Structure 1
Amino acid sequence: MRMRRERPASVVRHSRVLIIGSGPAGYTAAIYASRSALNPLLIEGPQPGGQLTITTDVENWPGDTRVQGPDLMMRMGEHARHVGAELISDYIVEVDLTTRPFAATGDTGDRYTADSVIIATGANARWLGLESEMRYRGQGVSACATCDGFFFRNRICAVVGGGNTAVEDALHLANFASEVYLVHRRDTLRADKANQARLFANRKIKVIWNAEVAEVLGDGGKVTGVRLTDVATGAQSMLTIDGLFVAIGHDPATSLFAGQLAMDEDGYILVTPGSTATSVPGVFAAGDVQDKHFRQAVVSAGMGCMAALEAEHFLIDVASASAPQPAAECISG
């Protein structure tokens, strides 16, 4: 008879600062919060280290001329542990930002309460959903032209999309690549007119209208081309390229906080300008979860630093406000 394995009883953990999510923003927040003696708990999430764990070469991280994304995230996590942060292998499935202290529940069943919260859950790039696309991610398929464009100097690239991000990626790649194709499934672009004017004026860029990528082609080690389908006629064609950049948008990982924090129409958490403070006092957001423009590891790390420092100041203000005030002296005349 097979014995049933009992699940360990859930526990409740309290911290002054709870960091939800890892990656450059979460790990940096943990480092700074630890150095401020706030003893933070960091819940790593379903993908510890975030998007950089599926990135190969990183050449724009200050101090490293070249580093592997997973290695960089491992080092940042080790740094956070070294200065005293506790990293927990769990991911949050429920939060309550209406209570004090704030409360969160992990997939393990454990509960976490905190006097302040830093959200660093990031955003995920939208992909085309092709098996061949997944096979060549990191080997010529990318969702970040700013990150990886340098690797395609004097090569041929294609960008998929029709919005501002796609047009800006094509313009950025034109600084390095010998040729750039913009593949769009419609006959007009959604990008603003200024970006379109710059695109059409660039002789390195050619737009392929009414086309979708049906398959990414490669030699097993790197991308060699794509198979395109004309959306109007169904005709297929081959395009020889060295790199494919998917620029069809990102989805911020903010569903946990819907209805509790102010967000924009795309689901990004809104913060006070020049700050990481959200609409709920004591809750801060850092990294791609609130940044829809830059999406760079070094920017996320800077926001993680800001969030930790702002959480520290928030806790100091709360402690000062709740401290007993000395009685006023009564001076008799």
Structure 2
Amino acid sequence: MQKAIVIGAGPAGLSAAIYLAKANVEPLVIKGVTPSKYLMTTMEIDAYPGFPLGVNGPSLLDDMSKQAEYFGARIRTGSVKSADLSKRPFLILTTGHGSIEIEPIETESIVIATGASFKSLNIPGETANFGRGVSTCATCTGYFASEKKVVVIGGGDSALEEALYLTRYASEITIVHRRNELRASKGMQERARQSKQIKWMLDVTPLEILDDGHQVSGLKVRENRTGLETVVPAERVYVAIGSTPNAVFLDGQLPVGRRGHLMVKPGTTETDIPGIFACGDVQDDRYGQIASAVGSGCMAAGDCERYLEGLQG
């Protein structure tokens, strides 16, 4: 029987683990085989507090893990296949790294910090250059776009938000979208069209992200009407076509918002089921920053600690 299990070892989950461990809860952290893909593949983060020259994503995540373990958290690599939240104690079924054997674990509380997966274009050059000029977060890496030509791929509010943020740094931003019409709200479109730095390339299909062996050099696209292929010069490419919260293993046991994020009570990390908490990008459909994930992880630890104290009292 565990007092608390933290599912996920990204910035939200590890922050929750640190605070729970400091409270002598001794949490068990289930770390995915590829925890926090964004941090593990991003070599340059410029917006996390305390690092004036930026910070390396994998190093930041490694330091968080060591800090959690130092205070008494236990970290186990594996996957959560399913969870039964219908009765107490809660039951999760996990598999270890490289194993197919199912292990049941009972726990008094669960902190869900499984994050969200950014949707990919699945074109050549995207994966190879991720973290080396390809990014999914302008506010995390925007400074490194200073005085550069950049491409933002997408047509929704998130894509235009990325483009508008990048006007602070980039010399030129080209928005590339598959359709001839944008999905973004009218207000967001009006703001973007007022910027002289933003150019538009609509009704084109991204084909390949090009590089010169050291950094991104452009985006190859095909014009949908003519079939003509051209290259958009760019030193950075931002993919902003949406994300999907990682909550499939819950099988609909918790309510979600319109985009699939777990819903929590306002001002807390509490879900509709007492003893189940959610933090980070799996429940955050607005901010999506490392710092906000860390903050909600701290909140989840506090909420969980108070819940466990109530059980004892």
* TM-score, length-scaled by structure 2: 0.96
Matched residue, 2:99: none
Percent of aligned pairs sharing the same letter = 37
Q: What runs of 5+ residues in structure 1 fail to find an aligned partner?
A: 1-13, 321-333
Mapped to 1, the partners of 2:36 and 2:238 lie a distance apart of 22
Matched residue, 2:14: 27
What is the CA distance between 1:47 and its match in structure 2?
1.4
- 1:269 maps onto 2:262 in alignment: yes
Matched residue, 2:58: 70
Matched residue, 2:33: 46
Which runs of 4 or more aligned residues in structure 1 lie more than 3 Å from their structure 2 counterparts after TM superposition?
none
- Structure 1 residues 277 and 50 mapped into 2: Cα distance closer, same or farther (>3 Å)? farther
Mapped to 2, the partners of 1:171 and 1:38 lie a distance apart of 43
What is the CA distance between 1:265 and its match in structure 2?
2.5
- 1:180 maps onto 2:167 in alignment: no
Matched residue, 2:94: 106
Matched residue, 1:208: 201
CA displacement 1:135-172 (0-9 Å, x = unmatched): 11111111111111110111100101100000111111
Does structure 2 conserve the Cα–Cα contact (< 8 Å) formed by 1:18 and 1:113? Answer: no
What is the CA distance between 1:114 and its match in structure 2?
0.8
CA displacement 1:47-105 (0-9 Å, x = unmatched): 13542111111222222222211011111000000000111111111111112001111
What is the CA distance between 1:212 and its match in structure 2?
1.5
The residue correspondences of 1:135-150 to structure 2 (distance < 5 A) are 135-150=128-143
Q: 2:70 aligns with which of 82, 98, 122?
A: 82
Q: What runs of 5+ residues in structure 2 fail to find an aligned partner?
A: 97-101
Mapped to 2, the partners of 1:79 and 1:49 lie a distance apart of 17
**1:300 alignment partner, SS class:** helix
Mapped to 2, the partners of 1:194 and 1:243 lie a distance apart of 26
CA displacement 1:190-228 (0-9 Å, x = unmatched): 111111110111011011110111111111111111111
Matched residue, 2:44: 57
The number of aligned residues is: 307
Does structure 2 conserve the Cα–Cα contact (< 8 Å) formed by 1:145 and 1:172? Answer: yes
Does structure 2 conserve the Cα–Cα contact (< 8 Å) formed by 1:122 and 1:287? Answer: yes
What is the CA distance between 1:131 and its match in structure 2?
2.5
- 1:311 maps onto 2:307 in alignment: no
* TM-score, length-scaled by structure 1: 0.90
Letter in 1 for 2:89: P
What is the CA distance between 1:16 and its match in structure 2?
0.7
Does structure 2 conserve the Cα–Cα contact (< 8 Å) formed by 1:23 and 1:51? Answer: no
The CA RMSD measured in Å over matched residues stands at 1.1
Matched residue, 1:217: 210
- 1:169 maps onto 2:155 in alignment: no
Matched residue, 1:17: 4
Matched residue, 2:278: 285
